[in-house]
Structures are given as structure tokens and as C-alpha cells.
Amino acid sequence: MSKTLIALFAAAGLCFAGATTAQTTTTPHDKAARDQQVKSAEATYKADKDACKSLSGNAKDICMQEAKGKEKVAKAEAKAAYDGTPKARENARLARAEATYDVAKEKCDDMTGNQKDVCQKEAKATYTKAKADAKVDRIAADTSQTAVKKTTEAKKDAIEDKRDAEYKVAVEKCDSLAGGAKDACVRDAKAKYGKT
């Protein structure tokens, strides 16, 4: 993954993390706290959306995606704090992953050609990894014997999903090459990721 794209993902992730850190400290089933967090998320979204109005083009689109993402994550984390269940925590992580993915895709729009294609594949790969990790963590939170087996299966599935996502990025990078170099690149990617 390129250093630029890693920086983009990190910035987007920090954007969403900073907005909701305080919201994860409520005790389960504290309805008043949840309602306050939802109202706060809505007010923050309105302010962020208003701040985007001064921008134009893709910068405005990115700003709007960030605003929507922050609200979505804040509401999901408020629900997770209220419910206190592994599934609710997974949903909050998925909301964060989706928000980060949406912002990353929007940032890819500033690129063209193969660079844009690679950017989009890397964004999708990061999203796929986050979804897989969230699922594994939810299943691992269950301590029953059945859950131990499911955790093992989920980890195996997560590894496969991540490997497939990384393979797609590697093959997309090969598209910038031609002829024998491209063939060698694809062959190397297949060998590295166990594709035949």
C-alpha cells in the first residue's frame, strides 16, 4: 500500500476516532446518555455540513463524506455503548470501517488512470480487512464451546478475505505494466497469494 494512501486512511480513521472517543465510556443501557450522544452527533453533523459549504469540487465531497461518517460512527458507538453486546460493538466497528472506506473512495476521485484504480482497490482491501476483524472479534467475545469453533472458522475466513483483497490490489498494480513485465507481475502476485 502506498505511503500516501496509508496516510489518507490514518487521517480518516483519526477523524472518526476523535469524534467519538468519549462516547464509549457510558454504562450499558444508559438511555439518557445514549440519547445525548445521538443529539450531539446530529449537532456535530450539522456544524460539519455547514463548514463544507465553503468548499467546492471533490474537496466538498470529501468533507461531506467525513461529516456523514462522523455522525454514523457516533450514533453506532452510542448504540454499542447502550446495548453493551458484541454484535453492537461489531456494528460500531463496521460503521467506522464503512465511513473510512467512503472517505477513502472519495479521495481516490482526485486521481486518474491506474493510480485511481489502485487507490480504490487498496481502499476496498482495507475495508474488507476491517470487516473481517470486526466479525472475528464479535465471535471471539462469545466464550461458549461452539463459539471457539466459530472463532477458528471466522479467523480462517478473515485470513482468506484479506488475502483475496491483497491479491486484487497486487493484480491492479500490474495493470500499469505491459507485455512480459505485466505477465511476470501477475505471475508473482498469483504465487505470493496462492492463486493458480
Identify the pLDDT of residue 10.
Answer: 46
The sign of the CA dihedral 125, 130, 134, 137 is positive
Nearest CA to 100 out of 133, 78, 144 is that of: 133
Q: Tell me the C-alpha distance between 77 and 21, whole Å.
A: 9
Percent of the chain that is helix, strand, coil (3-state, to 5): 85, 0, 15
pLDDT tens string 136-180: 888 877 666 666 777 788 888 888 999 999 999 999 999 999 999
pLDDT at 36 over 50: yes
Burial class from Cβ neighbours inside 10 Å (0-12, 13-18, 19+) for residue 44 reads middle
What average pLDDT does this structure show over 30-55? 94
Longest dimension (CA), the chain: 64
Confidence of residue 104 (pLDDT cuts 50, 70, 90): very high
Q: Tell me the C-alpha distance between 137 and 169, whole Å.
A: 25
Nearest CA to 189 out of 156, 160, 165 is that of: 165
Q: What is the mean pLDDT of the chain?
A: 85
pLDDT at 19 over 70: no
What average pLDDT does this structure show over 121-133? 95
Residue 98, C-alpha cell as written in the block: 464503512
Identify the pLDDT of residue 7.
Answer: 45
What average pLDDT does this structure show over 107-125? 96
pLDDT at 133 over 70: yes
Higher pLDDT, 155 or 98: 98
Identify the pLDDT of residue 23.
Answer: 41
pLDDT at 60 over 50: yes
Q: 32-46, 82-96, 135-149 — which is least confidently predicted?
A: 135-149
Higher pLDDT, 104 or 24: 104
Q: Tell me the C-alpha distance between 169 and 191, whole Å.
A: 14
Share of the chain above pLDDT 90, in %: 66
